[in-house]
Amino acid sequence: MNALRVGELVEPDEVVIGPMRRRHLPSVLRIEKQVYPRPWTMGLYLGELALPASRLYVVARRGSRVCGYGGFMLTLDECHITTVAVDPQLQGGKLGTRIMLVLASRAVARGATAMTLEVRMSNKPAQELYRKFGFAPAGVRKGYYAEVNEDALVMWAHDVDAPAYGQRLAAIEASLPDRTKIEKV
């Protein structure tokens, strides 16, 4: 992935992914309220951002507009993807793929050997995205999304530190129509 240099100009429609900062939270919460029945709160995000040794949260921007975000929690060598969301008006434009590329590559760089996540049973597009990243169904959490009375599909990707997984990430990146600029995360 191309790293963004300080002072480098960015095209208005170009996607830039960088660290989530406090100043991004109003936009993150706006998207959060649109995509989740029980959105995370400002306090929850502030708590997560206060744990940089074990957490990573990023935002995807076009110009100054936050259009998506994602994050993970790292426990020993396991990465738990805690959230991935894209502004509903921009879904289907590969922003989720770009966010997942950054999360997966940073998890591996931090020593992850496996990744896991939960996804709504009804969210087939997200499940397909995660399958592209090597996640496979491993179980069901009954009633996990209590606010909408829906089960969660638990998915895992193993051996993400192996060369084959790096090749998978490179192939996904090469399949995108343009390059994403990555700020230091």
Residues with a catalytic annotation lie at: 118, 130
Q: Are strands 181-182 and 78-86 parallel, antiparallel or unpaired?
A: unpaired
Q: Which of 114, 126, 30, 14 is nearest to 72 (CA)?
A: 114
**Cα–Cα distance measured from residue 91 to residue 68, given in angstroms and rounded to the nearest whole number:** 9
Structure tokens at 16: 């830039």
Per-residue burial over 143-177, b = 16 or more CB atoms within 10 Å of its CB, e = otherwise? eebeeeeeebbbbbbeebeeeebeebbeebbeeee
**Cα–Cα distance measured from residue 24 to residue 64, given in angstroms and rounded to the nearest whole number:** 10
What is the three-class DSSP state of 92? coil
What is the three-class DSSP state of 53? coil
